[in-house]
Structure 1
């Protein structure tokens, strides 16, 4: 399957799937995508290039039957390897991957496998801290390919910033919340200001995202241990008190 086909396939359901695993804040999304990009050779493959023969007889992977090495080779955007892991992940996803291992290479299934792995390794907290080292260790078990993972992270952050700047990126948990920043105006800004006041921050409710509102946002973000950049994206909206 081509890179374009893989990206198109996972793109159709990406937002909903990530949201279901709480991978729905700026840092969580960019770290997740950066790690997947490295693990999948830039989204060029959903299975390892090697045959899998090296895993033959690996009882630590549950490969106890002749041919298990090739049968249960690495598949997925974060590679699932070995009969035992196919059995376990399949059970979590409600599909029989052990009987149908090729399903793990299907892009949409690959995305779900990656999310289950991310969840099982509890990677959201270090992603929240923008901690590439810990995220990489949890994904890889070491720091293999760290430079490339860092490069992908930089690219992911830049791409998301461009989307936010154009208002394309929105809170996946509530499509009515646009990304706001200094210079934004309108009822969405008034809603933000009302929520900031509810959080105990003295800001006027005038629908104009000026310096005072930006400062209040940054104080709120700092208190919530979010990136204090003054930009109100998914993570900040999620942390704010609910509107009236």
Structure 2
């Protein structure tokens, strides 16, 4: 099973903040609606690698206030008269305020994406707040802005600018990205066959990236207290050496096929 096929409601719940009252009910409803559609929609728009999934979900979590809303809490009055958003008629700011998991904003954007998807978002702007519709709008926007390559480079700053037009909420977006990386790494770890370790690169101190995150997840599952940050530093090297010693492998801190094979979670048959 490919990674993207494992992305669904459980992944969103794992990174969503704990909330109460009406926000809790809204969050549950949004995740329940978006979750089952997530895998197919991400696949359709080529958001299938670990990095792309992490950045997409992290940005969506921020834009939707932790999946608690698909409509901007503010009135939209601040967008009134914004010609750059196509708001040229009285009331456009409020009528076409931010909606969706990526906060579609402005008459021009509502018209464009409505036409692309065959929806009358001009006369019925609330359609953009419908969770599954908003997911497709977000995926289409991601594709239009060519955000995938930015995510491939793990460039949070550029991804944020492409989605937000600026860097509003950058710290919060980073927080959700970190949570998304944790969950995606765990899914990778759980879904790889223990009989196929050769597909993983040789890792050693100084390496960085998604494969290091997977290594750290698996080491944590064995009881080693590591931060999942994708950085093969001193703590990760020590954990690898301790693990290698425990399973009677060469203790060199290098993660090659033998160490991957011993470390990878066993699958039921």
Deviation at 1:23, TM superposition (A): 0.3
- The residue number in structure 2 matching 1:71 is 95
1:31 pairs with one of 55, 62, 66:
55
Q: Distance in 2 between matches of 1:137 and 1:69?
A: 21
Unaligned runs of 5+ in 1: 168-178, 190-208, 220-225, 232-244
Q: Secondary structure at the match of 1:17?
A: helix
Show the counterpart of 1:146: 170
Q: How does 1:123-202 map to 2 (within 5 A)?
A: 123-167=147-191, 179-180=192-193, 184-185=194-195, 189=196
List structure 1 segments (4+ residues) > 4 angstroms apart after TM superposition: 226-231
The offset of 1:117, in angstroms, is 1.3
Q: TM-score, normalised by structure 2?
A: 0.64
1-structure distance, mates of 2:129, 2:213: 40
Corresponding residue number in structure 1 for 2:4: none
1:60 correspondence with 2:43:
no
In the superposition, relative to structure 1, how do residues 164 and 9 fare at CA in structure 2: closer, same or farther (>3 Å)?
same
Structure 2 residue aligned with 1:19: 43
1:218·1:229 contact (CA, 8 Å) conserved in 2? Answer: no
SS in 2 for 1:159: helix
Root mean square deviation, CA, Å: 2.1
Any unmatched runs of 5+ in structure 2?
1-24, 203-208, 215-269
How far apart in 1 are the matches of 2:178 and 2:133?
26
Secondary structure, aligned partner of 1:12: helix
2:121 is the alignment partner of 1:97? yes
- Name whichever of 59-68 and 86-95 sits farther off: 59-68
Higher helix share: 2
**2:105 is paired with a residue of what secondary structure?**
coil
In structure 2, the CA distance between the partners of 1:131 and 1:230, relative to structure 1 (3 Å rule), is: closer
| Number of residue pairs the alignment of both structures matches | 185
Q: Secondary structure at the match of 2:177?
A: helix
Tell me the SS of whatever aligns to 1:24.
Answer: coil
CA distance in 2, matches of 1:50, 1:158: 31
Cα displacement (A) at 1:30: 0.5
Contact kept, 8 Å, 2:185 with 2:213, in 1: the verdict is: no
